[in-house]
A = this chain, B = another copy of it.
Amino acid sequence: MDFSQDLIRGSVVPIVLALLRNRPMYGYEMVKLVNARTKGRLEWKEGTLYPTLHRLQSLGLVSARWADAPADEAPGRKRKYYSITRKGRTELARRTQEWSQFSLSVNALLLGGRL
């Protein structure tokens, strides 16, 4: 479907935080996972994700550590695993709420319903 990039904007941060809710992940994994889970309707680019992760880290919303990939997955390969911080969880809650209000508002206006 190939969304206009303007729609994508602003959704990257909350989605990243949401992905890290349950377990640490590495960047490349997030890209593939988002693209797969949305069947390519969202098509994340590495050129977007990596700078975003660094930004979130500098804001203290995620933390990163290098580690070996599990031996049964990709033995001998190094990956940079990101985890969400306590501060990040607070921000996630805020952003989720924000998204929900926002999407309700837009839906109401677009689909003509009352708010």
A residues sitting closer than 8 Å to B (CB atoms) are 1, 3-11, 14-15, 18-19, 21, 34, 37-39, 41-42, 96-99, 101-103, 105-112, 115
Identify which of B19, B101, B103 contacts A1 (C-beta below 8 A). Answer: B101
Q: A110 to B96, Cβ gap below 8 A?
A: yes
CB-defined contacts of A1 to chain B, threshold 8 Å: 97-98, 101
CB-defined contacts of A108 to chain B, threshold 8 Å: 37-38
* A19 CA / B108 CA spacing, docked (Å): 11
Q: A110 to B38, Cβ gap below 8 A?
A: no
Q: B109 to A3, Cβ gap below 8 A?
A: no
How many Å from the CB of A91 to the closest CB on chain B?
A: 11
